[in-house]
């Protein structure tokens, strides 16, 4: 029932892939090339040829993946790698089209495990047309094209394929009815599945440990309640260059309002796209009557969407790249599309924060924790203070009575970790301080929110900028006093020294590598066309080298086949039959004696028993067959056999009775 996919079907799949990914010119070229073998004379390809094609396809897949992950954010790199699969696997499909057999030896598809694949099933040949057809559809579906026409095109392509391989006994009307029903059910099912997934994410994001963490769902999982020592790397994630004025102490990435379990959430944040200013790649995020400070930030992106770190009370963002920036009601910025490094200038120092006004959620304390925070608020006599005095009293309470620590001992699982922090250990990391401060302020009637971001405090003379590392990630409180939102950091300032003291001894070397890689990515971003040209030239050189080696290997393989056709090193030469006969007759060759010397010796010892003159042309042919890399031509090989038979017939009197009984000459 399996039939080879017609070239037109493969061409249609390639064009569908090109339409979805935008690679029209490559798709058109591939669709045309796939038809060329039908117009030209096909030829036989060996298993070695297909094996080399497999190696080439593997190299192209690995190369595409390395290039994608080195130059693009992680999320985009994954999709880009999948999109390039049809190009990487195209040589193998083309080799099958060129081959007379129209099949690929199964063993050649696994060249690294050829010695392990001893099962007879791997001795057969397979058709890779339909797997390649499915690969094209899979790669096309990875592109960000969300129209109904893609589903229609996929359905037509799949229906065409199923029609080609359907059993001949199937009734056409029943087959069409079942196909249409499957298409309708599939379309309705994938819509329902998408809606169900969105519902589950909205409902359970705050209750699944680590679930939904990140900008896409506005959920932040904390390490509150974890025992042992927290470890953070020294990897550089941001570079901050002051352009006018000082550098900000904190860079804000996200704000959250609701706390449940060990997670902070920002429900109903309502991301909206920021409209750039006309004629410029700049976005207004606030207003001011003062002279703002300016800072340039470079951020290496690993995933998208990503939070965009900015100083508090930012006014404007400018970037050489056309960024897609979204903002929620709490001031959190998110980018959905960017090169591997996002570089942007920020003006900050406005009169007031642009964050949303306080709401009921900013005063809510979970019922399970209300008692302990109310008790602490009463002990501090906060009820009789003004909002400003409450903020100062709470900041003083944490500064004077608590210490910073990355280590948390084992505790009674029945005790709430925040209650244990407030009443027992009085020691924890920034998430303990920020969360406790938020809930204590709320218990005292002051609106507060939980904020995360980075602390800016390490200057690098090498880069002439502040470097921000993974371990500089920080959490603090946003408090509403005097009609405006302000940052409040109650974590003891010693946390910076404690974190830096745990730096790796190899950090300096890794910083050099990070700086070099950062400069390379910057150069690529500024000289994208040059980078593309260099990459294309390197690819052409690699293909040229591979082609040269392929041709060279073909020549070596031809010589090898010639040698194999005459046996291992020519040991099947007919001349050895003469040598064996002379040896049994007492005229054998001595140890370490060449055949040339042997024949010369036979001239004096053989007498009338051996015809030496007729042995000389035989020996010349034997030497050519034995040592010439190109072997003997077919007619010369036949001549060697004929002369040997003639010589043996002439010297038949030298055969023993045992030879005659065995029929040997």
pLDDT tens for 72-91 read 666 667 777 888 888 888 88
Q: Does any domain span residue 610?
A: yes
| CA-wise closest residue to 71 among 342, 341, 322, 305 | 341
d(C-alpha 430, C-alpha 472), whole Å: 11
Q: Which of 165, 198, 219 is the last residue of a domain?
A: 165
DSSP 99-147: BSS-SEEGGGG-GGGTTT--SGGGGSEE--HHHHHHHHHHHHHTSS---
For residues 534 and 162, the model is more confident at 162
The predicted model gives 510-524 an average pLDDT of 80
User: Is 368 a domain residue?
Assistant: no
CA separation for the pair 498, 119 (Å, rounded): 60
Residue that terminates a domain, selected from 165, 185, 203: 165
- Three-state DSSP at 618 gives helix
- pLDDT reading at 206 higher than 50: no
The pLDDT value given to residue 549: 58
Statement: residue 205 has pLDDT above 60: no
Residue 208: what pLDDT? 38
pLDDT at 564: 46
Task: Tell me the pLDDT of the chain averaged across its residues.
Answer: 78
Mean pLDDT of 118-128: 69
Residue 158 lies in a domain: yes
Structure token digits, residue 125:
């040949």
Give yes or no for residue 232 having a pLDDT over 80. Answer: no
Give domain status of residue 614, yes or no: yes
Alpha-carbon dihedral sign for residues 229, 233, 238, 240: positive
Looking at the predicted structure, is the pLDDT value of residue 55 above 50?
yes
Evaluate whether residue 506 is within a structural domain.
no
* Owning domain of residue 645: 566-662
Q: How sure is the predictor about 664, in pLDDT bands with cuts at 50, 70 and 90?
A: very low
Q: Please report the sign of the dihedral spanned by the C-alpha atoms of residue 507, residue 513, residue 519, residue 522.
A: negative
Q: What is the pLDDT of residues 445-498, one digit of tens each?
A: 999 999 999 999 999 988 889 999 988 999 999 999 988 899 999 999 888 888
Residues contacting residue 125 through CB under 8 Å, at least 6 positions apart: 101, 103, 104, 105, 106
What is the DSSP code string of 379-434? HTTGGGS-HHHHHHHHHHHHHHH-EE-SEE----TTS-HHHHIIIII-EE-HHHHH
Say yes or no to pLDDT of 583 above 90.
Answer: no
Number of domains in the chain: 2
In a domain, 267, yes or no: no
Question: Is residue 132 pLDDT above 90, yes or no?
Answer: no
Whole-number pLDDT of residue 292: 86
End position of a domain, from candidates 106, 130, 165 = 165
Instruction: Spell out the long-range contacts of 21-26 with Cβ–Cβ below 8 A and sequence spacing 24 or more.
Output: 21/83, 21/139, 21/140, 21/143, 22/143, 23/83, 23/87, 26/87
Q: What is the pLDDT of residues 365-393, one digit of tens each?
A: 988 889 999 999 999 999 889 999 999 99
What's residue 387's pLDDT? 92
Query: Is residue 519 situated within a structural domain?
Result: no
pLDDT digits (tens, 9 = 90+) for 301-354: 767 778 889 998 888 999 887 788 888 888 888 887 666 778 899 998 877 777
With 50 as the cut, is the pLDDT of residue 212 above it? no
Q: Chain-centre distance of CA 479, in angstroms? A: 42
User: Whole-model pTM?
Assistant: 0.56
User: What's the confidence (pLDDT) of residue 211?
Assistant: 40
The reply to whether 648 falls in a domain is yes
- What is the band of 662 on the pLDDT scale with cuts at 50, 70, 90? very low
Q: Which residue has the higher pLDDT, 540 or 602?
A: 602
More confident residue, 524 or 237: 237
Evaluate if residue 106 carries a pLDDT over 90: no
């Amino acid at each position: 029932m399996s039939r080879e996919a017609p070239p037109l079907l493969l061409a249609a799949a390639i064009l569908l892939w090109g339409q979805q990914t935008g690679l029209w010119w490559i798709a058109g070229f591939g669709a045309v090339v796939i038809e060329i073998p039908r117009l030209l004379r096909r030829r036989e390809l060996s298993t070695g040829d297909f094996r080399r094609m497999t190696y080439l396809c593997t190299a192209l897949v690995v190369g595409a993946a390395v290039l994608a992950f080195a130059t693009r954010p992680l999320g985009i790199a994954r999709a880009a790698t999948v999109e390039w699969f049809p190009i990487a696997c195209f040589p193998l499909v083309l080799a099958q089209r060129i081959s007379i057999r129209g099949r690929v030896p199964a063993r050649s598809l696994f060249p690294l495990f050829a010695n392990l694949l001893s099962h007879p099933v791997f001795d057969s040949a397979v058709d890779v047309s339909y797997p390649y057809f499915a690969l094209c559809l899979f790669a096309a579906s990875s592109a960000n094209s969300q129209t109904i026409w893609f589903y229609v095109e996929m359905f037509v392509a799949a229906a065409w394929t199923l029609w080609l391989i359907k059993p001949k006994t199937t009734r056409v009307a029943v087959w069409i009815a079942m196909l249409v029903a499957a298409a309708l059910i599939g379309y309705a099912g994938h819509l329902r599945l998408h809606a169900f997934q969105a519902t589950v994410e909205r409902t359970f994001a705050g209750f699944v440990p680590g679930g939904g963490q990140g900008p896409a769902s506005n959920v932040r999982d904390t390490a509150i309640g974890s025992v042992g020592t927290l470890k953070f790397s020294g990897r550089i994630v941001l570079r901050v260059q002051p352009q006018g004025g000082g550098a900000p102490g904190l860079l804000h990435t996200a704000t959250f309002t609701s706390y449940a379990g060990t997670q902070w959430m920002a429900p109903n944040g309502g991301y909206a796209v920021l409209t750039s200013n006309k004629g410029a790649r700049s976005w207004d995020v606030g207003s001011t009557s003062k002279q703002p400070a300016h800072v340039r930030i470079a951020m290496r992106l690993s995933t998208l969407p990503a939070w965009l770190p900015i100083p508090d009370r930012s006014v404007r963002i400018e970037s050489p790249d056309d960024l897609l920036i979204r903002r929620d009601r709490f001031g959190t910025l998110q980018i959905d599309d960017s090169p591997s490094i996002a570089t942007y200038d920020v003006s900050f120092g406005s009169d007031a924060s642009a964050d949303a006004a306080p709401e009921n959620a900013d005063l809510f304390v979970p019922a399970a924790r209300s008692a302990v925070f109310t008790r602490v608020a009463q002990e501090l006599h906060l009820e009789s203070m003004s909002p400003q005095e409450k903020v100062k009293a709470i900041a003083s309470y944490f500064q004077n009575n608590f210490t910073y620590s990355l280590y948390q001992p084992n505790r009674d699982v029945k005790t709430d970790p925040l209650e244990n922090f407030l009443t027992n250990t009085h020691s924890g990391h920034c998430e303990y301080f920020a969360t406790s401060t938020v809930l204590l302020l709320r218990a005292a009637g002051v609106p507060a929110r939980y904020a995360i971001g980075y602390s800016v405090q390490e200057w690098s003379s090498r880069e002439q900028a502040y470097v921000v590392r993974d371990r500089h990630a920080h959490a603090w409180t946003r408090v509403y006093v005097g009609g405006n939102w302000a940052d409040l950091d109650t974590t003891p300032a010693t946390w910076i020294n404690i974190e830096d003291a745990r730096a790796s001894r190899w950090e300096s070397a890794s910083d050099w590598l990070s700086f070099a890689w950062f400069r390379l990515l910057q150069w690529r971003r500024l000289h994208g066309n040059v980078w593309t040209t260099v990459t294309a030239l390197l690819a052409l050189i690699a293909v040229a080298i591979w082609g040269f080696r392929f041709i060279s290997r073909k020549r070596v393989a031809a010589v090898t086949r010639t040698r194999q056709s005459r046996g291992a090193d020519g040991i099947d030469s007919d001349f050895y039959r003469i040598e064996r006969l002379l040896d049994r007759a007492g005229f054998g060759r001595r140890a370490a004696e060449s055949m040339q010397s042997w024949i010369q010796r036979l001239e004096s010892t053989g007498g009338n028993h051996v015809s030496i003159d007729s042995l000389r042309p035989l020996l010349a042919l034997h030497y050519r067959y034995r040592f010439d890399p190109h072997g003997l031509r077919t007619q010369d090989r036949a001549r060697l056999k004929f002369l040997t038979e003639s010589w043996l017939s002439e010297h038949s009197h030298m055969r023993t009775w045992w030879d005659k009984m065995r029929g040997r000459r």
